Amino acid sequence: MKVPRKIPKLFREPPRTLFDDPHHEAFEAPVKGPLFTKPVFYALLAVFGISLMLTADWFGLLLLNSEGVFDRIGPLNTVRVTGVLMTGIAIPSALLMFHYKRLYSYTSDENIFFAVTFSLSFFLGSPCVLTGIFG
């Protein structure tokens, strides 16, 4: 009967080259699966896209004719509309950020995009929402 010879650990794996990254997988987030189902995911993307389009139109209208908007609906309602549109961007982008964080890794392109979008819309929209509520 032949006894299996124990091979030292040094010789078990092929040698690495200069550009190999042995611990690349350790830095990635564990893949857990999507957070939302496909219909909810598509609904969030639709709400995000529509809110983004309406916000761009709203800011374009304010840049071209701010005095007319203020005269027509008033400054407080203008701030309220801005707050609602920014909230329409912030909430879906936060949910999509958590969706992509769970699906891929912490540094995926989609996660970074929705994190930046959430932070910008939250910081621009929160003063408008507070002014609209307490104004």
Is residue 35 domain-resident?
no
Residue 54: CB atoms within 10 Å: 15
Asked if residue 86 is part of any domain, the answer here is yes
Is 79 among the domain residues?
Answer: yes
Domain that holds residue 88: 40-134
Look up the pTM and report it: 0.67
The pLDDT of 6-13, averaged and rounded, is 62
Task: Indicate the number of domains in the chain.
Answer: 1
pLDDT attached to residue 99: 80
Assigned domain for 2 exists: no
Question: What's the rounded Cα separation, in Å, for the pair 42 and 116?
Answer: 20
118's tokens: 């959430």
Higher pLDDT, 105 or 108: 108
Residue pair 86/121 in contact by the 8 Å Cβ criterion = yes
Q: What's residue 112's pLDDT?
A: 81
Q: Is residue 56 part of a domain?
A: yes
User: Looking at per-residue confidence, does 126 or 51 come out higher?
Assistant: 51
In a domain, 115, yes or no: yes
List, for residues 57-85, the tens digit of each pLDDT value: 999 999 999 899 999 999 889 988 998 89
User: Quick one: what percent of the chain has pLDDT higher than 70?
Assistant: 70
105 vs 102: CA distance, rounded Å: 7
Kindly state whether residue 28 falls inside one of the protein's structural domains.
Answer: no
Distance between CA atoms of 123 and 64, rounded to whole angstroms? 23
Q: Is residue 49 in some structural domain?
A: yes
